[in-house]
Amino acid sequence: MSFAELAAFAGRHPQLSIALAVITVALIGVEIALRLSGIRRIGPSVLVGLMNRDNALVVDLRTPVEFEKGHIAGAKNVQLSQFDPENKQLAPVKSLPVVLVCQSGQTAQTAAARLRKAGFTQVSVLDGGVQAWRGADMPLVKGR
């Protein structure tokens, strides 16, 4: 498609063109905000490296029922409603890598922002959550 054809299409469909421009700007804005937040989005292989090399704390924010059906080995289950980054027991791990996991990665992003605000320095989110972990053929542990 040439630029002239693209311009002609935009002239014939101004509402679609404006909607596309708005969506594009919004997506770019979200990506910039994520990059400036200090929260890394990592894949399953990077998470395995952090767990093996740096003794990362993996926090699974899903419900206990979802957690028991299958979770990453060594993960701690904390429901978002009980998630308190100001908890005194978490103070010793403020400098350790903390990786938050949920079903798809969206809930974990919110919790990660709370951790950063509370002074945690190495906060990551498993991009795509447990769905991405399964998609990478990584093992899940059943039970508590």
Active-site pick, 50, 58, 59, 102? 102
> Is 142 labeled as catalytic in the residue annotation?
no
Residue 32: burial class (beta carbons within 10 Å; 0-12, 13-18, 19+): exposed
Place of tokens 């945690």: 120
Amino acid letter for position 69: K
Q: How many CA atoms lie within 13 A of 87 on its CB side?
A: 10
Q: Which positions are catalytic?
A: 102
